[in-house]
């Protein structure tokens, strides 16, 4: 939520939730936005960038035409992907050696990136690139916002996702460590505290979450293990125009 006393708030490192939170943060003057969608957009994007794949974010609606227009492969949803097809699964991206340009739609992280791209500097963070992304954020001028993407309830309202809170906390911790002059707001501080509390048993904590159990039941438990590759990548996916490139 936007602080009613925005001008009086000295914090320049903040946490927001979901698409509405990202839009409000940009409207309030945030110059840098890190979108965190651990299971799985941000993690899959990080894996793709490590492989040299150019990734274009988009929501599901209109994504097929968007991919055709850009000469890119369209990642399928896990529910509709056939064996061997590239999907939102990071494991599938690692197995897709021939893909060089990829439209990666998702209802949460990818939709947020597509919506606020061009209005602020946009990067994508997760556990496997948290330190690199946090350092990037610390180097950006002005207010920086980390957006925990969350999930959706059946009625379309935001469902907070603890995995995204922990991923946001990891990025925020790295940003604060790299730029000690940064001043986190109360929500950012709470995300960092949650991450520090979970860190000694991060694998157990993440595997026990509802989103992780849902993936395991669908046969995608390996995707959770990829998400747990803490600081496995030092590349920062930054949105340039319509595509993410590695920084």
Element (H, E) at 211: helix 210-217
Residue 7 lies in a domain: no
**CB-count exposure of residue 237 (10 Å: 0-12, 13-18, 19+):** buried
pLDDT profile of the chain (247 residues), mean per 10: 52 96 97 97 98 96 96 92 91 94 96 96 98 97 96 92 98 92 94 98 97 95 98 98 94
Residue 118 lies in a domain: yes
Residue 172 lies in a domain: yes
What pLDDT, on a 0 to 100 scale, did the predictor assign at position 178? 93
Residue from 148, 118, 153, 126 nearest 40 by CA? 126
d(CA 228, CA 235): 16
Task: Identify whether 146 is preceded by a cis peptide bond (ω within 30 of 0).
Answer: no
Residue 3 lies in a domain: no
Token pair in block for residue 8: 């009086």
Residue 35 lies in a domain: yes
What pLDDT, on a 0 to 100 scale, did the predictor assign at position 9? 64
What pLDDT, on a 0 to 100 scale, did the predictor assign at position 25? 97
d(CA 133, CA 168): 10
Residues sharing a CB contact under 8 Å with residue 35, sequence separation 6 or more, in sequence order: 22, 41, 42, 109, 112, 113, 122, 123, 124, 125, 147, 149
Domain assignment of residue 210, given as a range: 12-246
Establish how many alpha carbons lie within 13 A of residue 8's alpha carbon, considering only the half-sphere containing its beta carbon: 3
**CB-count exposure of residue 108 (10 Å: 0-12, 13-18, 19+):** buried
Q: What is the CATH number of the domain that holds 108?
A: 3.90.1560.10
| Number of folded domains that form the chain | 1
Token pair in block for residue 211: 């989103």
Q: Model-level pTM?
A: 0.94
Residue 6 lies in a domain: no
Q: Which residues pair with 178 in a beta bridge?
A: none
Residue 1 lies in a domain: no
Residue from 157, 166, 130 nearest 19 by CA? 157
What pLDDT, on a 0 to 100 scale, did the predictor assign at position 8? 58
């Amino acid at each position: 939520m936007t602080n009613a006393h925005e001008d009086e708030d000295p914090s320049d490192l903040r946490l927001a939730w979901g698409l509405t939170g990202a839009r409000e943060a940009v409207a309030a003057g945030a110059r840098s936005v890190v979108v965190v969608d651990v299971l799985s957009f941000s993690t899959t994007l990080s894996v793709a960038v490590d492989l040299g794949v150019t990734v274009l974010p988009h929501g599901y609606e209109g994504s097929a035409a968007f991919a055709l227009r850009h000469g890119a492969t369209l990642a399928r949803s896990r529910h509709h992907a056939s064996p061997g097809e590239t999907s939102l699964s990071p494991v599938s991206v690692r197995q897709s050696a021939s893909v060089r340009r990829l439209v990666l739609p998702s209802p949460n992280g990818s939709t947020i990136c597509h919506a606020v791209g061009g209005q602020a500097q946009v990067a994508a963070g997760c556990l496997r690139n948290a330190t690199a992304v946090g350092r990037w954020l610390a180097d950006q001028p002005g207010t920086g916002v980390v957006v925990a993407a969350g999930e959706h309830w059946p009625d379309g309202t935001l469902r907070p996702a603890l995995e995204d809170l922990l991923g946001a906390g990891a990025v925020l911790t790295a940003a604060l460590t790299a730029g000690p002059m940064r001043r986190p707001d109360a929500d950012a501080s709470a995300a960092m505290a949650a991450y520090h509390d979970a860190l000694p048993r991060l694998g157990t904590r993440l595997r026990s979450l509802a989103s992780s159990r849902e993936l395991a039941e669908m046969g995608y438990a390996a995707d959770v293990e990829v998400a747990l590759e803490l600081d496995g990548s030092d590349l920062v996916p930054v949105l340039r125009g319509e595509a993410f490139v590695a920084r």
